[in-house]
Amino acid sequence: MANTILVGAQWGDEGKGKVIDVLTEQADVVVRYAGGNNAGHTVLVGRIKYVLHLVPSGILRRGKLCVIGNGVVVDPVSLVEEIQTLRRLGVRVGENLVVSETAHVVFPYHRELDAQREVLKGKHRIGTTKRGIGPAYGDKAARVGLRVIDLVNPERLEEKLRLRIRENNEVLRALGAKPLSFRRVFDDYRRAGEFLKPFVGNTVILLHEMMQRGKDILFEGAQGTFLDIDHGTYPYVTSSNTTAGGACTGSGVPPHRMDRVVGVMKAYTTRVGEGPLPTEHAEIADMLHAMGREFGATTGRPRRCGWFDAVATHQAAMVNGLDEVAVTNLDGLDTMETIKVCIAYRRGRERFDYVPNDAQVLAECEPVYAEFEGWRTPTSGARRWKDLPAKARAYLRAIAELTGARLSLVSVGPGREQTIFV
Ligand code: GDP
Ligand code: IMO
Ligand code: MG
């Protein structure tokens, strides 16, 4: 399969988990390279629904090596829980999972600060997952973070954590929040460190050994292009580089070893949390929510929904260098009479064919739509391209063309078998 980066081309929850699971069949190694347990990747295997937060979705296939790369921020208590849940569901998690020793660790003060900052921001809040992601990456950049290598060394953990708790308790007190007990946090984290120790290793060396042996690596992106700290709708973003470049820095595999980039996008658009979403539309949101779809995999929040935004996905193709696109949730549009696609933004007399960098300007943009006739036929039973209604094929061809990448996969349901290779 060659080394493949898979990224979200919209605002997250594009169905990356499902597509990763399908593509893992042809890979040897699956690597998560950014984000933390803010991610929720859903994979349906038979009747069992797995929601993965930190563990790469590749874990669900036997014989695949899964790596949590250096670019990820790891909440160890949550990771232990995730491993135990997977084991309870009969998934083997052992030497097939390796966690980078240089990944940064998320602590309870990160979560607490995340929550407090959101309260302080009031109506300007980001709508974070409150998993402590922003403060953890903040500490990494400020060079005061603890890494997994510190977590699994109790003496070092004790010394560093004591200092961090002292400083953060000052901040929490000033914000009117309850300070943390060093002893309690230390005990929980020492225990988690002990559990995780056998999983911890030098993943950069490991990945290069794998490549030397001719193994194919699949890089599992989390979040989406417009949640990227540099390329997203700042400040309504997450705190990592979710785009393709992040796969290199977040794993230690250099750019010239990457063979292809696949962007996953829904046949429409969703976003969870605050921030501009130009094509947001109540009609499509109500329809999807009434079907029981589009509720967050991590927080359960209803996702905001809108029409397909080709201005955004075209920019995603640029920033990530998308070779291919995988379109998911085509079946979500099965009942629509008319389907709209945003081909430009308008703000007063200004017209944009790219995403303006000022989130406030973007919020004031009105979409310019092209219209497509709906196919009004169920697609979830389609298994081959030619099984799809002609109008659905025309729609898919059009959105791939507007995005500027080759359509390689279509998903018509959450199941593995509900996948069409184009
Ligand atoms: P991720 O974060 O990108 O992995 O996406 P999520 O798992 O958070 O959200 C995608 C949701 O869509 C999940 O509930 C998937 O099971 C579901 N899903 C993925 N592809 C399809 C599809 O083609 N059709 C339907 N009906 N559901 C899908
Ligand atoms: P997956 O990998 C959708 C959003 C949050 C919020 C913003 C910042 O499942 O696609 P954070 O907790 O990261 O500081 O929140 O980013 N967000 C996601 N939205 N899917 C995700 O992950 C997300 N991870 C973060 O809702 O708007
Ligand atoms: Mg998700």
Most ligand 2 atoms within 8 A of CB, residue of 38, 137, 139, 240 to mutate: 38
Atom of ligand 1 nearest to the CA of 412: 23
pLDDT of residue 5: 98
pLDDT at 396 over 80: yes
Q: Is residue 366 within 8 Å of residue 345, measured between CB atoms?
A: yes
Q: Is 110 a catalytic residue?
A: no
* Joined tokens for residue 314: 């075209």
Asked whether the beta carbons of 289 and 232 are under 8 A apart, the reply is no
Tell me, rounded to whole angstroms, the distance of Cα 328 from its chain centroid: 15
The predicted model gives 340-349 an average pLDDT of 97
Task: Give me the catalytic one of 13, 21, 28, 75.
Answer: 13
Is the Cβ atom of 245 under 6 angstroms away from ligand 2? no
User: Residue 299 pLDDT more than 90?
Assistant: no
How do 200-201 and 97-100 pair as beta strands?
parallel
Name the pLDDT band for 92 (thresholds 50, 70, 90).
very high
CB-CB contact of 323 with 260 (8 Å): yes
**What pLDDT does residue 281 have?**
95
Q: Please list the residue range(s) of the chain that carry CATH number 3.40.440.10.
A: 4-101+199-262
CATH architecture of 104-196: Orthogonal Bundle (1.10)
232-252: burial string, b at 16+ Cβ within 10 Å, e else:
bbeebbbbbbbbbbbbbbbbb
Report the nearest-CA residue for atom 11 of ligand 1.
15
Q: Give the CATH class of 4-101+199-262.
A: alpha beta
Q: Where in the chain is the domain with CATH 1.10.300.10?
A: 104-196
> Atom 26 in ligand 1: which residue has the minimum CA distance?
413
Nearest CA to ligand 2 atom 15: 128
Which tops the pLDDT comparison, 418 or 1? 418
Rounded CA separation 213/189 (Å):
36
Average pLDDT, the chain: 97
Query: With 90 as the cut, is the pLDDT of residue 301 above it?
Result: no
CA–CA gap between residue 13 and residue 35 (Å, rounded): 13
Residues of the chain with CATH 3.90.170.10: 263-421
For residue range 306-318, list pLDDT tens digits in order: 999 999 999 999 9
Q: Does domain 263-421 have CATH number 2.40.170.20?
A: no
Per-residue tokens: 282:
């109540």
Provide mean pLDDT across the span 147-170.
98
Q: Tell me, using a 6 A CB cutoff, whether residue 129 lines ligand 1.
A: no
pLDDT of residue 1: 64
pLDDT at 298: 81
Please tell me the predicted confidence (pLDDT) of residue 355.
98
- Among the listed residues 21, 28, 41, 53, the single catalytic one is 41
Q: How many angstroms does the Cα of residue 330 sit away from the middle of ligand 1?
A: 11
pLDDT at residue 200 above 70?
Answer: yes
> Is 13's C-beta closer than 6 angstroms to any atom of ligand 2?
yes
Residue 40 CB–ligand 2 contact under 6 Å: yes
* Residue 267 predicted with pLDDT over 80: yes
pLDDT at residue 217 in the model:
98
Span 203-219, pLDDT tens digits: 999 999 999 999 999 99
CA 12 to ligand 2 center in whole angstroms = 7
Q: What is the per-residue pLDDT for 296? A: 87
Identify the pLDDT of residue 157: 98
Residue 292 above 70 pLDDT? yes
281 assigned to active site: no
